[in-house]
Amino acid sequence: MTASHQILLYYLYAPIADPEGFAEAQRELCGRLGLLGRIIVASEGINGTLSGEAGAAAEYMAAMREDPRFAGIVFKTDPAEAHAFPRLSVKVRPELVTLGLTGAEDVDPRSLTGERLSPRAFLEAMSDPGAVVLDGRNRYEWELGRFKGAVCPDVDHFRDLPKWLAENLEGAKERRILTYCTGGIRCEKLSGLLVKEGFKSVAQLDGGIVSYGKDPEVRGRDFEGRCYVFDERVAVPVNSANPTVVSRCRRCGGPSERYVNCALRRCNAQIFLCAACESGAGRYCDDGCRHADDPAYLERLPHGEGFRFVDALLKLEPGNWGVASYRVTGREPFLPGHFPGDPIVPGVVLAEAVAQLAGVVAQSDPEVPPVEQLLLAGLGRVKISGAARPGDTLRIEAKVTGRMGGLVQADGSVEIDGVRLCSATVSLGGAR
């Protein structure tokens, strides 16, 4: 069977004098060939992943190799039945991979990088018990699969890695370090950085996990789980020699390689969830997301348009705790008059948002019948430390701390992008 499409993964560190012009030429070339995917262009080279019809992919590879700057480029190819990307994006960036190193800190992989090991040599090197196998990827990647016994840095971004290494790998400078990543590009910089930092013996898996899985001799041996990829496939198999599953179902903790997105659209987190858990409790991270996806809870808010400061629930533990968002539109009736020229949301409105969410949380309690017209009745310990403006999205949190009849007590806070603007203790009261 021959597949109609191909997926390409490639990079090359090679100086590009005019990144903007080169990016434009790439857009034209890909557009003409009907290729989709993502390309990063920098003055230090190119990094790309594309999908397209097999003939078009072949034409692209030929066109790139014709350019003397990219004659040595290596393309990793996978057959596919269709495109793996929804669109084409070609961007110019200061770095091919964002390590955040500037000036003298930066590493040029063409002059400083770890020893390149073939899949075969990497497999052999891993058998040395003194070696440190270092995963150069992010948590969401290695959670899906990694080399047996690898050290996996707890980072969400590649740029956080230098700090993690300084804090956690300092004592391993005399040991052999074996780095790996998806296709090899991150290791070019990472291994160079380690050499620069004084690690005595640094090597990298040439071509990354992808090449390691395709190597006819090693066939992905000792890679546990699957490889995370940045296209619609999400997870690809690597190991056909001694495959295992390492990822765990978010709910029951059993082995599962089912990678899905949380059904709560505003969460959309990628999670492992086994089929049994999904059919039992829905395709959600947890019950907090499941309850937050039920519009009935918000509908019980008595507040009308213009005085409602909870748009959407993000997490809800009925009767106990909740998180919600509110986007300041600038059209709120109280805004323009308050501070002409610089409309800010008054602190009391932030406390009101906490109270409204507290009301939603309290009213969702399955054990307690709903209260009519549950409204803010009192404020205590209010701390305001910032202002919100039109365009901001508030993150509101509230925890019910006490209930008695039609009275509700709650603690809560409001944040924007992780910065706290307000905390408050609120009391609500309504008719029983």
Could you list the residues that contact Zn ion (CB under 5 A)?
249, 251-252, 262, 264, 267, 269, 274, 277, 285, 289
CB of 235 to Zn ion, least distance (A): 17
User: Which amino acid is residue 184, in one-letter code?
Assistant: G
CB of 253 to Zn ion, least distance (A): 7
Q: Which is nearer to Zn ion, 132 or 292 (CB)?
A: 292
- Whether 181 sits among the annotated catalytic residues: the reply is yes
DSSP annotation string for 187-222: HHHHHHHHHHTT-SEEEEETTHHHHHHH-TTTTTTT
- Residue tagged 């939603």 (tokens): 360
Token pair belonging to 103 = 């000036």
User: Pick from 417, 292, 421: which is nearest to 357 by CA?
Assistant: 292
Q: Which is nearer to Zn ion, 271 or 335 (CB)?
A: 271
Neighbours of 389 (CB within 10 A): 14
Q: Which is nearer to Zn ion, 218 or 289 (CB)?
A: 289
Q: Residue 208 class from Cβ within 10 Å (0-12 exposed, 13-18 middle, 19+ buried)?
A: buried
Angstrom distance (rounded) from CA 425 to CA 413: 9
Dihedral over alpha carbons 271, 275, 276, 282 (to 10 degrees): 60
Q: Residue 147 class from Cβ within 10 Å (0-12 exposed, 13-18 middle, 19+ buried)?
A: buried
Q: How many CA atoms lie within 13 A of 376 on its CB side?
A: 21
Q: Which is nearer to Zn ion, 274 or 353 (CB)?
A: 274
CB of 223 to Zn ion, least distance (A): 23
Angstrom distance (rounded) from CA 153 to CA 344: 41
Q: Which is nearer to Zn ion, 215 or 257 (CB)?
A: 257
Q: What is the maximum alpha-carbon separation in the chain? A: 80
Strands 176-180 and 201-205: parallel
Contact 325, 396 (CB under 8 A): yes
- Kindly name the residue from 181, 227, 249, 285 that is annotated as catalytic: 181
Long-range contacts from 139-143, C-beta under 8 angstroms, 24+ separation? 140/228, 140/270, 141/182, 141/228, 142/228, 143/247, 143/272
How big, in percent rounded to 5, are the helix, strand and coil portions of the chain? 25, 30, 40
Q: Which is nearer to Zn ion, 88 or 264 (CB)?
A: 264
Q: Which is nearer to Zn ion, 113 or 247 (CB)?
A: 247
Catalytic residue positions, numbered: 181
